[in-house]
Chain A
């Protein structure tokens, strides 16, 4: 458990560095194509650093806002508050802020930068459909994410991956419109200039893919880990098994769930398409969550 916390903190630092590197590389590629020189690079470094800092302090707010989460009123949702308070006693954690999302699809996620600044959001669908024991199991899973610092890594990833995707989108579009001018100025090109341009172009395409893969690599194994440490809190595996079964049966999809926040949720909020044929392995690699069947199976073995 403690190794996981250290590894998560280390991972967060690595993530921030990778992010700054990718942003600088993208801007550099962009620069090579358009040509702004060193000043552009300085702006890029400042921008990347600023975004990373902002992501650390504010990414939980971003994630909550993106999913249209509203603070959960203790009067209106006494059960949610009671269950979380109980689990926090068991885990020795401070109580996180609680949010509710108006959505029929049962799902939940945790966010924040450390246990003292954590938030847990659940959909109304989850509150309606789960009984107390199942709700407890789901929330124990979320609190394990909080305790293990998974929230820090994954929430940082939300914000920063979003920025990278946005940036390269922007770069692509800029190239379609502004690229022509540069070609006129330099006249034909060829040699190192063209090579650099090609490299820049490759980077522009690769950046979002790399960012996505990074995001997926972060999330999958820790879902199973959080399942197991959640059960260590409730001491009752059948509770989580029942909850996951219910999530599996349910086909509704969270409306405000997007690919950017997918890895935060307990179950993937994006529709899972039946993957067949040659591209199945690719789909599996890009999935943010291990299949529910695998997770249920792992719990049965406890």
Chain B
């Protein structure tokens, strides 16, 4: 099953992310930090809500099997500066979303980048400093 899920992926890139999002609400422990997965799929639902935004996608693999992914962003006020809005994703949209998957192999992840149906490119659905922190060791 796990293998099948990953066959459904368009691309898998493993490596340390230079711009890993700052976790802010529910921690990073669940994530396979550094792994990057690119999903091309059809939007089923976009919940723009606290505590985290949730995007449900159906992604078809090469074998025709469709896998339903749920990927998260931070809360609306956090993702707003990155350009995410309530209507960024709508039912039926064809989108490409780059995610950091969870460790346990389920089709879950957090949004690192997205290309919307109208071709708009968005960055991580998380909070970032506009400049590097000088206060945190």
Are A and B interaction partners?
no
Chain B residues at the A interface, C-beta cutoff of 8 Å:
none
Q: Which A residues are within 8 Å of any B CB, using their own CB? A: none
